[in-house]
Structure 1
Amino acid sequence: MAKKSRTKARDIASTEGAGENAVGPRQPCPCGSGKRYKACHGAAGGAAPVFVSRPFEGMPGECDVIALRELVPAATVPLTVPGTDREVRLCTLLPMAAPAMVRESGAIWLGLQVAHQYGDPARDLGAVLEAAIAQTEPGVVGLTSPPGEGPRLQDLISNTSLDITVHDGFGYWIDDLGDQDDATAAALEEASSAAPPTARLESVEAAYWTNVGTKEHLRWVMPHPEDHLLDALARLHAAGQDSVAEGSRFVGMFRAHGRLAPVWDLPVGTGAAVLEDPAAAFAAALTDALATGGDLTAEERSARAGLANRQVTIR
């Protein structure tokens, strides 16, 4: 029995990949359950038969896709899909959190922020996209069971980069329709009012400013392997070089889909524009810190331990 359990656990863990993507048994499970990995997807008979820790690997703009799925309320990206001449648009959120919609025009809208929980959101998106392409009538498209093996979203598109538009609200839900009645307009305004103002920085990749009312944040999904990134951030923190604006404070990190997203608190009234130059300067300093070899100093090790304790796994 013990040998069978070990084998099954090893098979589940093998879906995580190796090296930087490996998840330790006592680490939080990347699925976001709040349990340790060994008690969730890493256990024999775990929460799901497959869990992919880095589902968007190989996707153009991987870090931006993660941000759009987890952090950004309203954004759209046009996708190019060989084999169909229909418009395909990737959206952060669709009405009623639909996985996908076929519009009256035949256009296909894919929703990133859905709750399939089948273990590989990129595979879910691929399956939904294929189903939407096969559907000719307008309506909602989704999954009612695990999609099984097949292409993931990054296998179905030919984009080499992403043209991301961040919206003030959810007006894009009706931008292909004519005038709306008062009830529709009111519902749309109510939905949009719940979306905090958000902007994507232009000087660096996958960094998003947001204003949540009581404070502002910069949340920046980074592509570097976690251990190397933590070492580099610790060096900058110990040297007092981790500011991105006057009065900013580096407060911790999210972990989502195999990548870390450092977060800074910003004074109210900072705005996005003033972050461009400091963010570019921080990116250059981070590149230098990533290239620094050798062991961390005692102060840097202490900084690293503090940073590691301020990680929250959301996916």
Structure 2
Amino acid sequence: MGKSSRRPSTTSTASAVADADVPVVGQREPCPCGSGKKYKACHGRARAVAAPTPTGRTFEGLPGEPDWVALREVVPAATATLTLAPALRRKKSGDQPALNEITVATVLPLAWPAMRRADGRVLVGLQTGGGSGDPSRDVGSAAAAAVAAEPGTPITLTDLPSDGPRLQAVVAPDATMTVTLHEGFDFWVEGADDLDAEVRESLERANSAVIPTARLTGVEAAYWCQIGDRTHLRWVLPQGEDELLDGLARLHATGESSLGDGTRYVGAFRAHGLLVPVWDLPQEWTADDVEGPAAAFAERLAEALAKDEPLTYDERRARAGVVSRQLTLR
């Protein structure tokens, strides 16, 4: 007799709330239906089913591609300010200030795709839904809509065209991606005099869901985080998947895939065309503790990637093990 499924039912009392009655919130906020799950794993999942699964490298060609993936998928609260493409920049006009840059954020109030603040600044959310099936187009369309909007205007999902510009056409090709992590989402209301009650409630929900996270300084797009009593390193790597899997297999076969004593390589997930290896760390380790081991691993990986001879039998077996532990994030 086959085992019964352990997959949680989608018809529980909390989950049975009609989608239309559940407000859209950030993907990692608690679902407003009261199920106790994150929105992404509850009513957000149902809203995402209709969208086709994107293929390829969503953020390829953007400055700091791995950090775009990290802010979209693994970082709770962060921002990065980037220069707009020349065609989208706005000159000062009357009381309207010049607009030469946008700030991308992991999440915005009420999961808005974007907003033009009253002071004229444009904020764009990365962890939002969209109907095109291409997150780069959804986010790029939201950014373009916010740039064209009047100050004080939020951009909602219904405002987004399905054929709008991709991020690669919105961000200047020579822009710099510098990530700033935040302990919460108070940057939403920085400088605001009055705070709408609905925005305040969304802010409180979002702040309650933030997990401690830090970006390493010695390597690119590697993020230490602490979830409950577990400590991890999640590292978005820029290499092509096949090349990277070969490199990881060579290290795994020789016992060099960990980050040192007390650490363990647990696998990798696939997100937007890139791989994100994950390590378990000793619970007491801080981000500073993993800086040295991560830098040493980067050197070992570079040496493994430089090898061009075929994988050995042991390395092929190791590669199969690495592949078997993969999962894909949408």
- For normalisation by structure 2, the TM-score amounts to 0.76
1:61 aligned partner, one-letter code: G
8 Å CA contact retained: 2:144, 2:165: no
SS of 1:235's equivalent in the other structure is helix
SS at match of 1:308: helix
Does the Cα contact within 8 Å between 1:123 and 1:147 map onto a contact in 2? no
Call closer, same or farther: CA 1:150–1:100 in 2, change over 3 Å. Answer: closer
Residue 287 of structure 2, aligned match among 254, 272, 288: 272
| 1:68 has 2:71 as partner | yes
Q: 2:152 aligns with which of 112, 128, 138?
A: 138
Match of 2:323 in 1: 308
C-alpha distance after superposition, 1:38-73 (max 9, x if no partner): xxxxxxxx9767944212110000000000000000
Deviations 1:4-43 (A, max 9, x none): xxxxxxxxxxxxxxxxxxxxxxxxxxxx9xxxxxxxxxxx
1:202 aligns with 2:217: yes
1:201 and 1:209 in contact (8 A); partners too: yes
Q: In 2, distance between residues paired with 1:208 and 1:57? A: 20
RMSD: 2.6
Residues 146-165 of structure 1 mapped to structure 2, 5 A cutoff = 147-158=161-172, 159-165=174-180
The one-letter amino acid paired with 2:228 is G
Q: Match for 2:117 among 103, 115, 140?
A: 103
User: What amino acid maps onto 1:240 in structure 2?
Assistant: G
What does residue range 200-279 of structure 1 map to in structure 2 within 5 Å?
Answer: 200-279=215-294
Shift of 1:160: 3.1
Q: Deviations over 1:172-217 (max 9, x none)?
A: 1112324869997786455313110000001111100000012011
1:149 shift after superposition = 3.9
Q: Deviations over 1:272-308 (max 9, x none)?
A: 0011111111111111100112121221111111110
Residues 109, 202 of structure 2: 8 Å contact kept? no
Cα 1:47–1:194, aligned 2, differ >3 Å: closer, same or farther? closer
Contact 1:255 1:313 in 2 (8 A): yes
Aligned match of 1:58 in 55, 58, 61? Answer: 61
Q: Percent identity?
A: 50
Corresponding letter in the other structure for 1:157 = V
In structure 2, the partner of 1:39 is: none
The residue aligned with 1:21 is: none
How far the C-alpha of 1:90 sits from its partner, in A, is: 0.4
Indicate if the aligned counterparts of 1:54 and 1:258 stay in contact, CA closer than 8 A: yes
Shift of 1:313: 0.3
Name the SS of the counterpart of 1:144 in structure 2: helix
The number of residues matched between the two structures is 272
Which segments of 5 or more consecutive residues in structure 2 lack a partner in the other structure? Answer: 1-39, 41-48, 91-97
Aligned to 1:38: none
Shift of 1:147: 3.1
CA distance in 2, matches of 1:145, 1:188: 22
SS at match of 2:158: coil
Partner of 2:95: none
Is the contact made by 1:118 and 1:146 (CA closer than 8 Å) also made in structure 2? no
Q: TM-score, normalised by structure 1?
A: 0.79
Match of 2:80 in 1: 77
Q: What is the CA deviation profile of residues 232-260 of structure 1, one whole-angstrom value per residue up to 9, with x for unaligned ones?
A: 10110111111224311100111000000
Candidates 91, 99, 103, aligned match of 1:89: 103
Check the 8 A contact 1:127/1:147 in 2, yes or no: yes
Q: Secondary structure at the match of 2:130?
A: coil
Structure 1 SS opposite 2:66:
helix
Q: What residue in structure 1 maps to residue 5 of structure 2?
A: none
